[in-house]
Amino acid sequence: MKQKSVLITGCSSGIGKCLAHGLRNRGYRIYATARQPADVDELAADGFESLRLDLDSSESIRYTVNEVLQRTDSKLYALINNGAYGQPGAVEDLSRETLRAQFETNLFGTQELTNLVIPVMRAQGEGRIIQMSSLLGIVCLAYRGAYNASKYALEALSDTLRLELRHSNIHVSIIEPGPIESRFRANAYAAFKRNIDREHSVYRDYYARVEKRLAGPKPMPFTLPPEAVLKKVIRALEARRPKARYGVTFSTHLFAVLRRVLPVRVLDQILSATGNGGRR
């Protein structure tokens, strides 16, 4: 049987790297992409067909899609939109540029890439689009407004796309992980230091605690290894009728239910305690 090709974004670490290895072991032909040239080289040294793909650059997106299609005779079974980062900071401390940067990567670049791939999937008569959302695409936590908004928006575009592709044999599945071991927190901490003016914020004291949490080694409760995400991605790739949503971790399943059954006031209390958001 001919190998099915899968393009994955953000393979330098964490979930993307795990997906690249796990799906290759399962027999897929993986196009493992990363933003930094050094990571592309490392993936190549690991035996991957690796390419540079920076979601912030239309040129990079177009170049990589063209390159992949040349190598696969214009076939691509699946796209896994995994690459993203978290921008911490209170909503009132987010500059227009900081909010835009979060959306450029997590939403605009991701959708631009998806829109280049859909015609290929239409032409071959099948395809799978897998969107890495988050527990924070289901409920919001304080001081994560930019990231929350980007994942809610990704969920909305994914739901719309699913309706529009209903009769196309192209399936859109959303993966919703809770806390997963990866470089996510370290990268979020870097974005926090880069883009939030902590000294002049009304949240200055709270931010000192945020920095401790982001820099510290203690994982969030119910954290799982990235292999937990891999399991759900395999289902989304291989089920005859993949589900619209796959939750990963206890926290995701719990909050998906709580959001439906609890009054907003009660849910807010729980979310404030969970995200440290209630205390300043």
Residues designated catalytic = 147
Cβ atoms of residues 237 and 128 within 8 Å:
yes
- Binding ligand NAP (rule: CB under 6 A), the pick from 54, 89, 171, 246 is 54
Give me 120's structure tokens: 């290929």
Quote the least distance from Cβ 200 to ligand NAP, whole Å. Answer: 27
Which range binds ligand NAP by CB under 6 A, 76-84, 155-163, 196-204, 230-238? 76-84
Q: How far is it, in rounded angstroms, from Cα 68 to Cα 63?
A: 9
Residues 128-157 that bind ligand NAP (CB under 6 A): 132, 134
Letters for 81-120 (x = contact with ligand NAP by CB under 6 A, - = none) are -xxxx-------------------x---------------
Cβ atoms of residues 182 and 134 within 8 Å:
no
Helix (H) or strand (E) holding 8: strand 5-8
Q: How far is it, in rounded angstroms, from Cα 47 to Cα 30?
A: 10
Cβ atoms of residues 248 and 228 within 8 Å:
yes
Residue type at 96?
R
Residue type at 201?
S
Q: Which residue is nearest to ligand NAP (CB)?
A: 14
Count the residues of the shown chain that bind ligand NAP, applying the rule CB under 6 A. Answer: 28
Quote the least distance from Cβ 180 to ligand NAP, whole Å. Answer: 4
The residue ranges that bind ligand NAP (CB under 6 A) are 9-10, 12-16, 34-36, 53-56, 82-85, 105, 132, 134, 177, 179-180, 182-184, 187
